[in-house]
Structure 1
Amino acid sequence: MTTTPFDAPDKLFLGFDLSTQQLKIIVTDENLAALKTYNVEFDSINSSVQKGVIAINDEISKGAIISPVYMWLDALDHVFEDMKKDGFPFNKVVGISGSCQQHGSVYWSRTAEKVLSELDAESSLSSQMRSAFTFKHAPNWQDHSTGKELEEFERVIGADALADISGSRAHYRFTGLQIRKLSTRFKPEKYNRTARISLVSSFVASVLLGRITSIEEADACGMNLYDIEKREFNEELLAIAAGVHPELDGVEQDGEIYRAGINELKRKLGPVKPITYESEGDIASYFVTRYGFNPDCKIYSFTGDNLATIISLPLAPNDALISLGTSTTVLIITKNYAPSSQYHLFKHPTMPDHYMGMICYCNGSLAREKVRDEVNEKFNVEDKKSWDKFNEILDKSTDFNNKLGIYFPLGEIVPNAAAQIKRSVLNSKNEIVDVELGDKNWQPEDDVSSIVESQTLSCRLRTGPMLSKSGDSSASSSASPQPEGDGTDLHKVYQDLVKKFGDLYTDGKKQTFESLTARPNRCYYVGGASNNGSIIRKMGSILAPVNGNYKVDIPNACALGGAYKASWSYECEAKKEWIGYDQYINRLFEVSDEMNSFEVKDKWLEYANGVGMLAKMESELKH
């Protein structure tokens, strides 16, 4: 008799990941074990897309990147059909959650609710839902067609003020800008006929429920519309998005048109669902009849892809997840709402009093590879792509030598700066002096340690303000946890820094004692360059987390995060009490057993000069 991985478990959970190029569904059991993954590439089922999207370059929408909404419906049926052919026991599924590409939006028609409630299991989703949408396509996160709207949002509100309110400055892809484009200059008549607006995450949840459901709070933070601290939509931002702003649209402040526009957009968006474990409801009868789902299967709120990533690992407050790919992304778990126009803050999807900070650097692996190539050329390394010489040099650079470079072969996001390379040394008078590659103070091999150091110190400078007040880290109850028995006089460290360099600013904000002396609890390294032990050891020694460095592999992280969210929610509902998510995951996910920890020499104090140098060097970059 043939056995399957689904035979033993009584209860199964599904985690969805609707990304740019595919829909993936992962199956887990009650112990969070991943049993099987199913997926479909969008290009294989829709000939109109390339890598899941359509690029538009007409006069109005130059730079638009969109995805067909019907394609996502077809993908849902396609994957479920594959699972059905595989003999998957749908009747064992008790909970579903998942993640979707962030910022994208779906526009429902006035007949959508009726269409969703009357789905016929004998027909496909897409064939029945042609009348359910006013716009047949959804903007993708790669969209760059909202330059006019970006300028308008920041001209009226200001980049820093917008970040203070919504967690981020204006970005092309953010939902509020996309809505303004539709409401004011791209088919406003269709916007007016729109009954509801979903994020991609709440769209998928709505289809599974058979009714339009609320936007989830953590994902709502990626809209440039939601006031994160007040936990409600900001009326001035709504006025901009709706095209009824006094300064931009010539509408009387608090007049009839102004109020009507804001209230109408509020109605279209619907309420935001606070962070909760409570289910949205039972799965729609369409899926029960067509595929054999248990009618009691619960649908839990879906969230954004980056947000799902952080719940795929046992991340505690003050932990940092560092993704080292072509670009570098740093995700921080924090209790401290310390917004900046240079990074993003979102509500945490399973810990209501916490946030996820996200820093996105454009120059990651590409910049390091350029340094590697120059070193290999100098030393006549036969394999031009080999990292051996780079790593040999890096491993010998045990201490900071008062040399630091900034390497931006591409224009950088954080800090916002043009493409450039800047090399500097700190002389005996504590003066920062610029130098050129090839002179007596700087050879190509100096770039090896310098590029890793500067990239890491940038993370250290920018995570500090987020970490500094996260007082309940598992590492310590203090605002700035230190290794046990460290004995470092932090005030002296801070005073020495200020004496050498003066007040330090990062992205226009003054660094404080707390931000400059904060350390992460744990650091987790993922992505391609995390396989280079020399690089992550150097990074670990500079960041010096209190409770260790870990190299991790998290394939299918977004889908896993969704499945974990479903199982956590299900257990909370069963016990009728809130179970701390970090406690729930840690109970099933022993860090010491599941992760590859690695030892480093703590160089946190030795890199204090580097912190000061980088802050000052960044202040002089070309923009």
Structure 2
Amino acid sequence: MVDYSSKLFLGFDLSTQQLKIIVTDEDLKPLKTYNVEFDSQYKSKYGIHKGVKANEEDGEVISPVLMWLDAIDYLFTQMKQDDFPFDKVVGISGSGQQHGSIYWSHEAESLLNNLKPNQDLSKQLTNAFSWEYSPNWQDHSTNSEASDFHNAVGKENLAKITGSRAHLRFTGLQIRKFATRSHKSEYEKTSRISIVSSFVTSILLGKIANLEESDACGMNLYNISKSSYNEDLLALAAGVNSKIDKVDKSDPIYEKSIDEVRQKLGDITPITYESSGEISNYFVERYKFNKNCKIYSFTGDNLATILSLPLQPNDCLVSLGTSTTVLLITKNYEPSSQYHLFKHPTMPEHYMGMLCYCNGSLAREKARDEINKKYKLDQKSWDKFNELLDSQKAFDNKLGIYFPLGEIIPHAPAQTIRAILKDGEIEKCKIGDEFKIEDDACAIVESQTLSCRLRAGPMLSKSGDANKEESTDEINEAYNKLIDTFGQLKTDGKDQTKDSLIARPNRCYYVGGASNNLSIINKMGSIFGPINGNYKVEIPNACALGGAYKASWSYKCEEEKKFIPYDDYIKKLFDTNDELKDLKCEDKWIEYFKGVGMLAKMEETLMEVD
């Protein structure tokens, strides 16, 4: 029997394939989870597969918005049948899949304000949308729009302004396609545009909510440094950019169109603990929520993930799945076209950096399979691969670039390159006497980790205590030797500095499938060399949990009428002995300066780039 004796918080996670709600108490303890999988419940009604409708011809991938409304009612009904005490819920927040856009009709506000508790949301809000779908993050139908954004302001400059280069899924590109190419008439009938996080907030409030600032960074429209929309990018979204669309800025249509898209997007609420308002009367009457239950702004799914752990400035969360994703907390706004930077959802003057690699487990598994084939072992066994990883005592001057799929970071086609460092020179080689198939085990894990280390460095270099201990003779000697051997190092066309090359994470946390392989994460930890340790952690339902924690923190701040640093709040209530496992990795951080230089030069001189 679940103990619901205290105040309760709900965390939502609206992902591509399901809606999940997690219940936590005042001590951040998860009490119960509810979820509905869209395919199992709505496949025939909405014609979806894996939560979406996809058009292979043009790359469009979309989600039915009414299905999400059905899912909200479905889960609340399930909770009601479970005798869940809605009246004890004092705060709700959560996450939505990032970048998706929702197009409200001119009737939307009135319909939201006048919901009848005896009817389902989807039935009452059918006419609340000018278009009944939302582009999914998998959508890749906006190649022409991506070119337009890059041609208008430049790829690196776009990243400098918005935190990211143009990505096909990003909201600004999707709006431009919607307004100028695919749905012109629907755009004209659109009163407001939400992103998925602000859409769920709006439903719970019963009125259209402002965009939440951290998630709004994923639109390619928002100037992060200035905390305001960028006019040239708004003009692109509206189809009146002077360079791309040849609309003169003195033409009245230019200003009119920019004002229109700005009005549709609405204001962006700065990072805050303050609530967006109380829950809609619809939920009070239908499910018996307390009318004073506060709704706190939802954020994006990756942003919610970092809220589910006691992450402090300079901490890194390394997710090891089919792809590899590194999330890090930084004070340093050092953007690049190769990764993402978003404002942190609960820590003012901080950012979340995000590195997304396409080749993660797939590449390691391919190396494992070839090694097992040579030794006539079970193809899926990691025993030999791990034995080779564990037996390496020092970096052996062998490294590889392993991209069975085209890579995102760096932007490059599929390729495999192996190389050896000899007398300060990098020699490309094939499998043979000097570079054996067994060497792939270490070389692939090392190269993947070194790529993360190289690209995280600039984000960490000016941030907090990242280099508080980096003035030792040993480190200076290693750095000087690195430069003597390899000269000036560049990553993605930008010079690395001493600060960026000697920056270290505070802590590293490892999650995802491959984090269960201790040989892999021990090797990674020895290369990252975080100042305060490596930790393996299990965080099921991270996005929903992060939402519940955000609601709990916000509620506490409002209760005490002051801003409580989020990392302090989470740290105090997080039992690290139960949740985190310290890996006690051997620290070979200094030794891998040589690997840092080798990979940087291999990328610069040997690799094919798109």
Tell whether the structures are fold-level matches, with TM greater than 0.5: yes
- Identity of matched residues, %: 63
User: Which residue number corresponds to residue 383 of structure 2?
Assistant: 388
User: Which residue number corresponds to residue 614 of structure 1?
Assistant: 599
- The one of 304, 320, 323 aligned to 1:308: 304
| 1:523-562 matched pairs, under 5 angstroms | 523-562=508-547
User: Which residue number corresponds to residue 501 of structure 2?
Assistant: 516
Post-superposition shift, 1:591?
Answer: 2.8
User: Which residue number corresponds to residue 549 of structure 2?
Assistant: 564
* 2-structure distance, mates of 1:226, 1:344: 13
Question: Which contiguous aligned blocks of 4+ residues in structure 1 show a shift greater than 4 angstroms?
Answer: none
* 2-structure distance, mates of 1:280, 1:35: 25
Partner of 2:592, secondary structure, is: helix
Matched, 1:585 2:570: yes
Q: Which amino acid aligns with 2:5?
A: A
Post-superposition shift, 1:495?
Answer: 2.2
Cα displacement string for residues 530-584 of structure 1 (whole angstroms, at most 9, x for unaligned residues): 0000000000001110000000010000000000000000000000000000000
Given the superposition, is the C-alpha separation of residues 282 and 170 from structure 1 closer, same or farther in structure 2, using an over 3 Å criterion? same
Q: Which amino acid aligns with 1:7?
A: Y
Q: Which amino acid aligns with 2:340?
A: H
User: Which residue number corresponds to residue 154 of structure 1?
Assistant: 150
TM norm structure 2: 0.98
What is the aligned length?
605
Alpha carbons 1:481, 1:546 under 8 Å: kept: no
Alpha carbons 1:480, 1:519 under 8 Å: kept: yes
Post-superposition shift, 1:187?
Answer: 1.9
* 2-structure distance, mates of 1:255, 1:577: 48
Q: Which amino acid aligns with 2:434?
A: N
User: Which residue number corresponds to residue 102 of structure 1?
Assistant: 98
User: Which residue number corresponds to residue 481 of structure 2?
Assistant: 496
Q: Which amino acid aligns with 2:528?
A: L
Unmatched 5+ stretches in structure 2: none
Partner of 1:144, secondary structure, is: coil
User: Which residue number corresponds to residue 8 of structure 1?
Assistant: 5
User: Which residue number corresponds to residue 436 of structure 1?
Assistant: 430
Post-superposition shift, 1:489?
Answer: 4.0
- The one of 578, 589, 606 aligned to 1:604: 589
| 1:68-467 matched pairs, under 5 angstroms | 68-381=64-377, 383-428=378-423, 430-437=424-431, 439-467=432-460
Alpha carbons 2:322, 2:362 under 8 Å: kept: yes
Post-superposition shift, 1:239?
Answer: 0.2
Cα displacement string for residues 248-271 of structure 1 (whole angstroms, at most 9, x for unaligned residues): 222112431111111111100000
Post-superposition shift, 1:487?
Answer: 3.8
Q: Which amino acid aligns with 2:454?
A: L
Cα displacement string for residues 161-196 of structure 1 (whole angstroms, at most 9, x for unaligned residues): 100000000000000000000111112111011100
Post-superposition shift, 1:6?
Answer: 3.7
Tell which deviates more after alignment, 313-322 or 153-162: 153-162
Q: Which amino acid aligns with 1:151?
A: S
Cα displacement string for residues 58-78 of structure 1 (whole angstroms, at most 9, x for unaligned residues): 6xxx10000000000000000
* 2-structure distance, mates of 1:468, 1:587: 27
Q: Which amino acid aligns with 2:104?
A: W
Alpha carbons 1:110, 1:195 under 8 Å: kept: yes
Alpha carbons 1:481, 1:519 under 8 Å: kept: no
Cα displacement string for residues 199-254 of structure 1 (whole angstroms, at most 9, x for unaligned residues): 01000000000000100000000000000010011000000000011122221124
Alpha carbons 1:491, 1:513 under 8 Å: kept: no
User: Which residue number corresponds to residue 55 of structure 2?
Assistant: 56
Partner of 2:13, secondary structure, is: strand
Matched, 1:21 2:17: yes
* 2-structure distance, mates of 1:6, 1:492: 58
* 1-structure distance, mates of 2:357, 2:89: 39
Unmatched 5+ stretches in structure 1: none
Alpha carbons 1:481, 1:518 under 8 Å: kept: no
* 2-structure distance, mates of 1:463, 1:249: 37
Post-superposition shift, 1:8?
Answer: 2.2
Partner of 1:141, secondary structure, is: coil
* 1-structure distance, mates of 2:353, 2:183: 35
Post-superposition shift, 1:619?
Answer: 1.0
Cα displacement string for residues 455-497 of structure 1 (whole angstroms, at most 9, x for unaligned residues): 01001100000000112xxxx4xx51338xx944433332221
Post-superposition shift, 1:57?
Answer: 4.4
Alpha carbons 1:482, 1:519 under 8 Å: kept: no
Q: Which amino acid aligns with 2:479?
A: Y
Matched, 1:575 2:575: no
